[in-house]
Amino acid sequence: MTNNADVHGEHQRQRLRRNRLAQLESGEERLRRMALLQSQAMQLLQSSPDGMLHFKQRNYRSRQARLVDGIYQPVSPDRPVWRP
């Protein structure tokens, strides 16, 4: 049986390995990989109408903002206040 420390340690080792591999890639390779991952994610979302609907609702909800005294304040706590 694995304990929490074992799982955490393995996660750390995998993260460090991925970081080392990413550092070996050029900027163009990283951008190409990111574009591929985004394309695959969008294909997966588009294959599920319910999944795409949920994604759009969550995305729009997280981007909501209100204008208070000339300053846009996000409704979502995950987004910083934007000052013009």
Q: How many CB atoms lie within 10 A of CB 65?
A: 14
User: What is the reported pTM?
Assistant: 0.52
**Phi, psi torsion values for 68, nearest 5 degrees:** -125, 115
Predicted pLDDT at 39: 96
- The stretches in the chain having pLDDT less than 70 are 1-2, 80-84
Predicted pLDDT at 50: 93
Q: How many CB atoms lie within 10 A of CB 79?
A: 14
- Nearest-angstrom CA–CA distance, 56 and 46: 11
**Phi, psi torsion values for 5, nearest 5 degrees:** -65, -40
**Phi, psi torsion values for 38, nearest 5 degrees:** -65, -40
